[in-house]
Every structure is written in structure tokens, then in C-alpha cells.
Amino acid sequence: MSLTKRLAEAIDLSMLHPTLRETDIERGCRDAVYWGVASVCVLPCWVRFASELVNDSSVAVGTVVGFPLGGNETSVKAFEARRAIQDGATEIDMVMNIGFMKSGRFESLLDDMKAVVDAAQEVCESLRGKRAIVKIILETGYLEKDEIVRACELALASGADFVKTSTGFGPKGATVEDVKLMRSAVGDRMKIKAAGGIRALQQAIELLDAGADRLGTSHGVAILLEAQRESS
């Protein structure tokens, strides 16, 4: 597999900045289809629009829940997930409740995660006959190492598919150190998404080599163009 293809299949092309216009979403979705990336990740208000644009391609549509702070009440997060799936999303990136983690409210944190997982799966299986992909965003920049490990364990117990480093709006983005720690915590039982501050080819390669399965980045096209130049 070429480097460009390896990267494309790992990239979730993020379009989450609040000032993005309809034309930006349209351009990003067309780029996503052209390059064959794993998914586009858009704000909930753009899910239906993005789903129409990538229809009949291999590109999935993902969106965010409880974004970007994670403090929404659990039933609200579950509603967000259901509505997103109804609108066409098949991937949900949910921000965990960081305050629950810091407070040691692990049972509440697990319930929060599981409510979103269950809501997404119920609707996706009903509408499309397949599972949704749910990623739990830890926002590692706020966490100590032992909290990252505990959050990974809870995410695994919730039935989620991925643990994810960051929203891109927190105090720190993806690091090789955090990805390695998360991989050691979940082994091969979950996948890992690195996100936040991924702007260059070498950085993307290092995160994949550290154990990331997906890369969330708004710089996906630039990274793919750099990879293509490297390969030529």
C-alpha cells in the first residue's frame, strides 16, 4: 500500500471550525471523496448536507456530540447521537464528561458514554442494518496519565469503538506519548484516533506508527499532497 493511500484511509477530514461556510463544507466533502479518506467530521448542523455530498462514495459522515466541553447532560448527548444518525451520520465522536473523571464519578462517566453508544447503535441498526462507530474523546490535555488509562478502560467497557485524544479545542492536541499510553491501555480491543494539531506529514506518520488507527485533521488535503510529493 502506498503512503498516500495508507494516510487517506486513516484520515477523518475535520471541518469543525465555527466560521466554516456551506461552500467550505462542500469543498471539503468533494476533497474527501477525491482522496478517498475514511470520513468527514462536521458539526451536527452540516450532517445532512455532508451526507448528500458524499453519497455513493466510500467516505463516511461523522459528527460530534457534547462538543467541545463534554458537559452536556447525558440524555442530551444521547439525543444528539440519535438525531445525527437519523440525519445520515454513521460515526459519532463524543466528548466525555471531564468533570466526572476529575471528581472520581466513574459510574456516572460510564453511564454517560454508554448512553451515547446505545443510542447510536439502536438508530443505526434500525435505519441501516449496521453498527455505528462511536469514538470517545478524552481531551488528554486536561488529564493525568492515570486518568487517561482509567478513561480508556471505561470507554472500552461502554462498548465504544475508539478512544480519541482531543477535540482540537482543548489545551493540547495529539502527541505520540499519549497515543502510546492509550494503546497500552486498550491493546487491540479498541481503536485509537489521534486528533488536534496534526498539520504535517511526518507528524501524521509518527502518530500512526505510535498506534493510531485514525487521524482527525483539518489539514488532511495538505498532508496527502505532501505524501504524494514524497512518493513521486
Q: Domain holding 115: CATH number? A: 3.20.20.70
Contacting residues for 14 by C-beta, under 8 A, at least 6 apart: 40, 41, 168, 195, 216, 217, 218, 220
Contact between 61 and 90 under an 8 Å Cβ cutoff? The reply is yes
Residues taking part in catalysis: 93, 164, 193
Least confident of 144-148, 182-186, 228-232: 228-232
The domain in which residue 21 lies consists of 3-231
Contact between 136 and 113 under an 8 Å Cβ cutoff? The reply is yes
pLDDT beyond 90 at 21 = yes
Number of structural domains the chain divides into: 1
Local confidence band at 232 (pLDDT 50, 70, 90 cut-offs): confident
Local confidence band at 67 (pLDDT 50, 70, 90 cut-offs): very high
Give the C-alpha separation, 93 to 85, whole Å: 12
Contacting residues for 22 by C-beta, under 8 A, at least 6 apart: 49
Give the C-alpha separation, 37 to 105, whole Å: 37
Residue found under cell 480508556: 152
Local confidence band at 6 (pLDDT 50, 70, 90 cut-offs): very high
Give first-to-last CA distance, the chain, whole Å: 14
Local confidence band at 231 (pLDDT 50, 70, 90 cut-offs): confident
Rounded to an integer, the average pLDDT of 163-192 is 98
